[in-house]
């Protein structure tokens, strides 16, 4: 009897399972599994294990081994930043990053990546959602909030100016008489600026962000205006046509007069 018990203890495998695949996690963490489902991260092959690491599960409980990462503040910024390097670099000098570092116990993770980005659904953060979340900590009248609103407006204005220019350039791509070849490079320049602003906004340096967005928007607007000016100038061709037709008319009148005189002469 005793030997049988001893055999059971040593021969049966221990009740420990190595959890190293997403489908194992989702068996228990159903809600989180649903949140992650179909996200850009999941589609790109970034799942539970990519952020949370692997662990050993004993009788349905995490053993919290060294390879396990619960992904709490402030490591989350470093974790996201291991892929989104440029974003992390932009974020590091911001007061939010400093605050998150200073208070690692902040349970709501209010000042790090997850303050604006849902960490499981990993949706892109959009201005209205972000601004709503600012108000969780900042007053509506605070300069942080007011400047943030203005900065997002400047970013929107920049995107609008670029789109307007790009659309118009595309419309004119087959219009004869209107030169666009020198402005086509502006499209790539604008897109690069938009990418750069999208990253640098994580520094939360609203004044610089506004100035950068406004400068790039001004360039796009100037390019748009120069397209419009070229269109207007191409319209002047009707003036040239009028002059040409006028000259032809004068010529015709002179010839008709001379013909009349000749006819009169021959009649006389």
Partner 1 sequence: MSRLEERIGLRSLIGAIRERLSRPLPPNSGGAVLGSMAVFFILIQVFSGALLAIYYVPSWSEAHASVVLIAKDVTFGWLIRSVHVWSAHLLVATVLLHLVRVFARGSYGKPREVTWLTGAALLGLLMGSAFTGQMLPMDDEAVKGAEVGAAYAREAGLANLVQGGPHVGPPMLTRMFAAHVILVPIGIALLVAAHLSLVARHRLHGAENPQGSSPEFLRRLTFALLGSAALLAVLAIVRPAGLGPSPGGSGAPVKPMWMFLPVYQAAKWVSGPATLLLLMGPPAFLVAVPFLPRRLAVAAGTLILAAALVFGIWGAAS
Nearer to partner 1 by Cβ, of 59 and 236: the residue is 236
Tokens of 18: 């190595």
List of long-range contacts for 27-34, beta carbons under 8 Å, 24+ apart: 28/60, 32/120
In whole angstroms, how close is the CB of 241 to partner 1 at the nearest point? 4
In whole angstroms, how close is the CB of 192 to partner 1 at the nearest point? 24
In whole angstroms, how close is the CB of 185 to partner 1 at the nearest point? 14
Nearer to partner 1 by Cβ, of 106 and 166: the residue is 166
Nearer to partner 1 by Cβ, of 28 and 262: the residue is 262
Nearer to partner 1 by Cβ, of 4 and 267: the residue is 267
Which stretches of the chain bind partner 1, using CB under 8 A? 174-181, 237-238, 240-241, 244-245, 248, 251-252, 255-256, 259, 262-263, 266
In whole angstroms, how close is the CB of 262 to partner 1 at the nearest point? 6
Short-list 197, 165, 156, CA closest to 184: 165
Distance separating alpha carbons of residues 21 and 45, to the nearest angstrom: 12
Nearer to partner 1 by Cβ, of 104 and 246: the residue is 246
Residues 6+ positions from 91 with CB-CB distance below 8 Å: 77, 81, 97, 113, 202, 203
Tokens of 179: 């030169």
In whole angstroms, how close is the CB of 42 to partner 1 at the nearest point? 36
Say how many C-beta atoms besides its own lie within 10 A of residue 48's C-beta. 22
């Amino acid at each position: 009897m005793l030997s049988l018990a001893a055999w059971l203890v040593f021969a049966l495998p221990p009740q420990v399972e190595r959890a190293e695949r997403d489908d194992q996690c989702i068996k228990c963490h159903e809600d989180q599994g649903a949140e992650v489902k179909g996200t850009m991260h999941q589609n790109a092959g970034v799942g539970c294990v990519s952020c949370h690491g692997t662990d050993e599960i004993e009788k349905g409980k995490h053993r919290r081994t060294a390879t396990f990462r619960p992904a709490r503040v402030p490591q989350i910024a470093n974790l996201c930043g291991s892929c989104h390097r440029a974003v992390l670099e932009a974020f590091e000098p911001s007061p939010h990053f400093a605050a998150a570092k200073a208070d690692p116990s902040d349970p709501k993770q209010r000042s790090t990546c997850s303050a604006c980005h849902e960490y499981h659904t990993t949706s892109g953060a959009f201005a209205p959602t972000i601004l709503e979340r600012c108000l969780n900590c900042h007053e509506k009248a605070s300069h942080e909030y007011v400047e943030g609103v203005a900065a997002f407006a400047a970013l929107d204005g920049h995107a609008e100016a670029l789109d307007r220019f790009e659309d118009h350039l595309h419309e004119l791509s087959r219009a004869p008489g209107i030169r666009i070849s020198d402005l086509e490079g502006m499209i790539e320049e604008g897109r690069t600026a938009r990418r750069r602003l999208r990253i640098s906004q994580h520094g939360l340096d609203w004044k610089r962000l506004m100035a950068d967005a406004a400068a790039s928007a001004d360039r796009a607007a100037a390019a748009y205006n120069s397209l419009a000016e070229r269109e207007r100038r191409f319209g002047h061709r009707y003036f040239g046509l009028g002059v040409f037709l006028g000259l032809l008319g004068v010529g015709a009148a002179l010839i008709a007069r001379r013909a009349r005189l000749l006819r009169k002469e021959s009649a006389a």
